[in-house]
Structure 1
Amino acid sequence: MSQARDHGDAHRPTRPFGKRETGSRTQARRRGAAHLAAGTPVLPVLIVSVIVFVDLFGGAGTIWLPLLAAGPALAATTNGPRGVLCVGLLAAALGTALGTRDGVHDRDLVAVLSAVVTVTLASALASALRGRRERVLADVRSVAEAAQHALLKPVPETVGPFRVAVRYSAAAAEARIGGDLYALVPTPYGVRLIVGDVRGKGLPAVGTAALVVGVFREAAYDEPDLLAVVGRIERSLARNLGGDDFVTAVVVGHPRPGHLEVVNCGHAPPLLVRASGGIEALEPTRPAPPLGLRALSGEAPGLHVQPFAEGDQLLLYTDGVTEARDHGRAFYPLAEGLARHVSDEPARTLDALHDELLAHVGGRLHDDAALLLLRRTAQPAPEPAVAEPPSHAADTPGRGRACPANACGSPLPDQV
């Protein structure tokens, strides 16, 4: 959710229009200043200036002149080809002036300038190749961003009777998506959601996660029974996964007010936070194997019905959260952290949990981590039915017309 490659930013309250406009201008100025600083070869020019200063006041000769090539070489790491050539031209001009001033032999001066020119041209080529790789990487990141939105769609703040928040972080440094998955969809049978963890990492895990989420979204709309939804996912994985691959998952449904249905397939138990206080883990009544391994064990998952009153909260997570270790190899105590940071705002709770989790591991997770928290809000009362006003035509006696809504119990004169 690093998004963190985080999908929770949309849940935060927006600022007033005036403040947001001012903030946008400030950010634009900062970006412009940062871009100018990145495009200006400040450090390479500083290196060249130091070499000139040392040559002027530390002793003349050809000892310091070859070091002028360090300027364009360093510029290649931070600037484009134009910046490299500018630094190289500056170094060559200063080298010529210093060599003439110090009375350097022409042959030695030509050798120094040839080295500076050669390094400058090679550095400009390296800078061009680096810029090309950066553009390719930017394109790959944009594709990964699109894949993330297609696979892990942003969850709205309110879904049915729930307030929802999600935080997701991929372990790979430049990744947007990983092997953890989540989905939440409103269906004709109530709100349904899934949180899971694919065995393995990398592109194969992403492909499996996409398969699970796609089957879940389709089956959640089609199947009235939550166990039938899990069965559809199991059959799809059995056809497409290898013998050693599997997915741990928790599937939750809200078929009627005040109750949740939970199916746990080898996943970490969700944490239930009661409105009255207290946190408990919803251990499965009948342990079941992960998705994709039912054929090997023959065990089918069971359906656990859990009361879920107004104000109760349910936290679903992956093992990247509970297995996160600090420098002393201690696991992150999720239940204790949830007890410290729980609030009536799921987004605020997950923000605090995510920040504490990153602080626990020292700033970077080594496994994909997903957190999904939903809170039951007050069920909106149905609006009372409004009776239609009586028609004026009904007040006029006429053949075959009755009183409005059969209000009068006697027939009209023409029916006597």
Structure 2
Amino acid sequence: MPAAPAWMRWLPAFYIAGILVIEPITPVQWPVSFLLVALPVIAAFAHGPAAVGAFTVFAIVFEGVLAGTPCCAGRPVSYVWDRHYVTAYLCTALVGVLGTLLAAHRVRRERTLATVRFVAEIAQRVLLSPVPHRIGPIQVETLYLSADAEARIGGDLYEAVPTTYGLRLVIGDVRGKGLPAVETAATLLGAFREAAHDEPDLATVVRRVETSMNRRAARLAGSDMAERFVTAIIAEIPRRHVVRVVNCGHPPPLLIRSDGVTELETADPAPPLNLGMLLTEAYHVDEYPFRPGDQLLLYTDGVTEARESAGAFYPLPERVLSWGPLPPRELLDRLHHDLLVYTDNRLNDDTAALAVYHLPD
């Protein structure tokens, strides 16, 4: 369970110190020690039930001490048992009971949230298992940013699978959020991991994934989960210097070279996965040169649809071009930092990216 910020833990002490400073200089009959009634609630924001109970006892005793000090605020006599002070003691005790209950409730909620976050992190690790960082001459790095810092899990996905047919890659973005999106992502990744090893042809890999998505949709017909579709790029880098790409309604990859940055637009894009019934022909496979020193950047629309305060979209190709050639880890770290600066730390969508670098011979 995460600890409260230091300033919040010290807030009760600051509050007491403020009362001690104000009390002797307040020229009124009833001292500001009555403000100690609020101390248990202030403590409840950062401390547990036992600590709030201790602060309550302290507040009542301290109220009595201040009331029994004749010098305070020019009072000539003690007012320890004056009815106004007795009322203050009772009010402090009542507020202390409420503050203790509030602290107990807060602690339970924080423990529940910590458990949920832990489960979400485990689910995310299972869903997006670590990719191999080096496959022959190919180096791979990944980036995942959640728009909701508390959620830690979303519908963006990626995978890199070494096979006998070469390295096969997928990056995708599920329509929607929450557990239905996670379930859809898990279905796609499971199908891709199997088909990537079994099918020699990239278009057939995509068709296998689409078939699995359709079966899931049929099983869940009528539910919101059945209507989830996924924009995706499925690619492969075989044993020669090319990269093959099937684009299913997804933002185009960037091919980064020492002399420039190119968006790999497809001439015949396919519909998103789980909408394959709209496709009447075979999936179109584009092929591009991928030579030593080249780098491929796959990303989700959380990157290109990130906005600055004025509403302008993030100019990914221009940004990458301005950085010059960078190793894949440095490229993704720079992208991460630049996105946060560009959006003033306000990402509106989950973001995933996959950098694939062909090491020089």
TM-score by length of 2: 0.90
Tell me, in whole angstroms, the C-alpha distance in 2 between the residues paired with 1:68 and 1:344.
Answer: 59
Equivalent residue for 2:55? Answer: 87
Equivalent residue for 1:273? Answer: 256
Equivalent residue for 1:42? Answer: 10
Equivalent residue for 1:208? Answer: 184
| Structure 1 unmatched ranges of 5 or more | 1-33, 380-416
Mapping of residues 301-312 of structure 1, within 5 Å: 301-312=283-294
Identify the range of structure 1 (141-150 vs 233-242) with the bigger mean alpha-carbon deviation. Answer: 233-242
Q: Does 1:132 align with 2:119?
A: no
Tell me, in whole angstroms, the C-alpha distance in 1 between the residues paired with 2:178 and 2:118.
Answer: 17
Residue 55 (structure 1) shift: 2.4
Equivalent residue for 2:156? Answer: 180
Tell me, in whole angstroms, the C-alpha distance in 2 between the residues paired with 1:256 and 1:173.
Answer: 40
Structure ID, larger Rg: 1
Tell me, in whole angstroms, the C-alpha distance in 2 between the residues paired with 1:362 and 1:57.
Answer: 45
Q: Does 1:116 align with 2:84?
A: no
Equivalent residue for 1:245? Answer: 228
Q: 1:53 to 1:274 in 2, by over 3 A?
A: closer
Q: 1:246 to 1:64 in 2, by over 3 A?
A: same
Amino acid of the structure 2 residue aligned with 1:135: R
Residue 71 (structure 1) shift: 1.6
Mapping of residues 46-85 of structure 1, within 5 Å: 46-62=14-30, 64-85=32-53
Amino acid of the structure 1 residue aligned with 2:190: G
Equivalent residue for 1:234? Answer: 210
Check the 8 A contact 1:38/1:79 in 2, yes or no.
no
Q: Determine helix, strand or coil for the equivalent of 1:340.
A: helix
Amino acid of the structure 2 residue aligned with 1:92: I
Tell me, in whole angstroms, the C-alpha distance in 2 between the residues paired with 1:343 and 1:144.
Answer: 35
Q: 1:374 aligns with which of 333, 349, 356?
A: 356
Tell me, in whole angstroms, the C-alpha distance in 1 between the residues paired with 2:274 and 2:68.
Answer: 78
RMSD: 2.1
Tell me, in whole angstroms, the C-alpha distance in 2 between the residues paired with 1:42 and 1:270.
Answer: 50
Tell me, in whole angstroms, the C-alpha distance in 2 between the residues paired with 1:350 and 1:39.
Answer: 34
Q: 1:331 aligns with which of 313, 321, 337?
A: 313
Check the 8 A contact 1:186/1:192 in 2, yes or no.
yes
Tell me, in whole angstroms, the C-alpha distance in 2 between the residues paired with 1:148 and 1:315.
Answer: 22
Residue 167 (structure 1) shift: 1.0
Tell me, in whole angstroms, the C-alpha distance in 2 between the residues paired with 1:262 and 1:350.
Answer: 21
Equivalent residue for 1:364? Answer: 346
Deviation track 1:171-194 (CA, whole Å, cap 9, x = no partner) reads 123121211110001112111010
| Structure 2 unmatched ranges of 5 or more | 70-74, 218-224
Check the 8 A contact 1:320/1:368 in 2, yes or no.
yes
Q: 1:173 to 1:40 in 2, by over 3 A?
A: closer
Equivalent residue for 1:346? Answer: 328
TM-score by length of 1: 0.78
Q: 1:358 to 1:41 in 2, by over 3 A?
A: closer
Tell me, in whole angstroms, the C-alpha distance in 2 between the residues paired with 1:172 and 1:226.
Answer: 34
Q: Does 1:167 align with 2:167?
A: no
Tell me, in whole angstroms, the C-alpha distance in 2 between the residues paired with 1:231 and 1:143.
Answer: 32
Residue 311 (structure 1) shift: 0.5
Equivalent residue for 2:221? Answer: none
Q: Determine helix, strand or coil for the equivalent of 1:375.
A: strand
How many aligned positions are there? Answer: 345
Tell me, in whole angstroms, the C-alpha distance in 2 between the residues paired with 1:47 and 1:135.
Answer: 27
Residue 299 (structure 1) shift: 4.6
Residue 59 (structure 1) shift: 2.6
Equivalent residue for 1:322? Answer: 304
Equivalent residue for 1:98? Answer: 66
Q: Determine helix, strand or coil for the equivalent of 1:370.
A: strand
Check the 8 A contact 2:256/2:325 in 1, yes or no.
no
Tell me, in whole angstroms, the C-alpha distance in 1 between the residues paired with 2:354 and 2:4.
Answer: 40
